[in-house]
Amino acid sequence: MRKMILTGLFLFIIAPLAAEEIIIEEAETDVKLEKAEAELDYMKEKVDFYKRVVRSVQREEEELKALKRIRVRK
């Protein structure tokens, strides 16, 4: 009976501490998730920027080719 009471007291004392650890771990996970999402958004913006740059360079190359063809014809 004494062992059972001590076990109950131990669990009564430890259970709230374990719950606090779980809450802290969830908070840390949420912070990590928010950072990862922010980094993902930043990287998506970078990718979009470089895609626009590539399209712009392709348009300029096409314009230069067209100008060279016109110049060769004259």
Rounded to two decimals, the pTM is 0.52
| Alpha-carbon distances, residue 70 vs 56, 63, 65 (angstroms) | 21, 11, 9
Please give the Cα distance from 74 to 72 (Å, whole number).
Answer: 6
**Exposure string for 35-64, b = 16+ CB within 10 A, e = fewer:** eeeeeeeeeeeeeeeeeeeeeeeeeeeeee
Structure tokens at 63: 């314009």
Residues 17-70: pLDDT tens digits?
Answer: 555 555 666 677 778 888 899 999 999 999 999 999 999 999 999 999 999 888
